[in-house]
Amino acid sequence: MKIAVIANPTAGFKRTPWHGPVRDKLSELGEVEFITPESPEGTTAAARDAEARGCGVIIAAGGDGTVHRVINGFASHDTEFGVLPVGTANDLANYIGIPKSAIDAASAIVQGGIRAIDTVNINGKRIHTVAGFLLTADAAMRADRMKRRWPWLGPTVYKIGAAISIVLHGGNEQAGALIANQPTLGGNLRLPCDSVVDDGLCEIATFHGGSRVRLMRTLAAMSAGKPLPPGAMTWTSVAKATIKFDHDVEWFGDGEGFGFARTFEINVEHRALKIRGARG
């Protein structure tokens, strides 16, 4: 079996060197090839090429952004996928029970076992964790810029980014919205809705605006996993939906920025991503 490991060269700040031990472990499964693309677009292209060359398992080594770029290169829903969680937050890996150590994650891949999860297709982009608009997009993109500049901040960068965005842009009637495929997001913030990764549904969660103090209380509750202030958020579960704004809004998915749009076509791809080495 051929195994392609597509690695983000900037991931793994201060982590114990893992490339050699991971290669040794994965070699028990087959022939291992490491690929280190030079750009986000190159990551997607590398995944597309590895799939076309018949690699039996394609592995993303990085965080949720690397996972996003790799799975968006797949043409088939039958491609076996693995994750080495060496990114900043690793929201997907943490939620579905992939071991935190890259070496242990490689062992789980070798041992086998497949867990199929949903992806959410939004305007042609396959999302595996959450996407968002308005203030939530501003916070996510701010956190992304901060972690590139100060990687030592770790997962707390997401909470810091959200707090800064609230201070700068809070107070509007509608704060923002999230499309959730799981209940946890950057920095282990937790949504109050019971989003499940393999139920064929996603949750559209709307944050209602108000004062900056109210929004800060909402952020604090999400950080602590406690109930949100009354009326702070509403949500609904859907398999398919269209969201339209009356102006172009910034949006993101899996921590990646996608620019601006005003119409969003949302379609859940039920159990479309086959992850090897995740707990069922």
Query: What b/e sequence results for 6-44 when a residue is b if at least 16 CB atoms lie within 10 Å of its CB, and e otherwise?
Result: bbbeebbeeeeebbeebeebbeebeebeebebeeeeebb
Domain ranges of the chain: 2-112, 127-270
Please state, in angstroms and rounded to a whole number, the distance separating the CA atoms of residues 57 and 252.
Answer: 27
**Domain at 127-270: CATH code:** 2.60.200.40
> What residues contact residue 181 under an 8 Å CB cut-off, 6+ apart?
117, 118, 119, 120, 127, 128, 129, 130, 195, 197, 202
pLDDT of residue 185: 85
Residue whose tokens read 């190159």: 42
Residue whose tokens read 């701010």: 142
Give me the amino acid identity at 186: G
pLDDT of residue 134: 86
Please identify, in words, the CATH class of the domain defined by 2-112. Answer: alpha beta
CA nearest 116: which of 277, 237, 241? Answer: 277
pLDDT of residue 73: 97
Give me the amino acid identity at 118: D
- Beta partners for residue 208, in sequence order: 174
The per-residue pLDDT string of the chain (280 residues; one tens digit each, 9 = 90 and over) reads 999 999 998 776 556 788 999 999 999 999 999 999 999 999 999 999 999 999 999 999 999 999 999 999 999 999 999 999 998 889 999 999 999 999 999 999 999 899 999 999 999 999 999 999 988 888 888 888 888 888 878 888 888 888 888 887 776 666 788 999 999 887 678 888 888 999 999 999 988 877 888 888 888 888 888 888 888 888 999 999 999 998 999 999 998 999 999 999 999 999 999 999 997 6
Please state, in angstroms and rounded to a whole number, the distance separating the CA atoms of residues 109 and 132.
Answer: 31
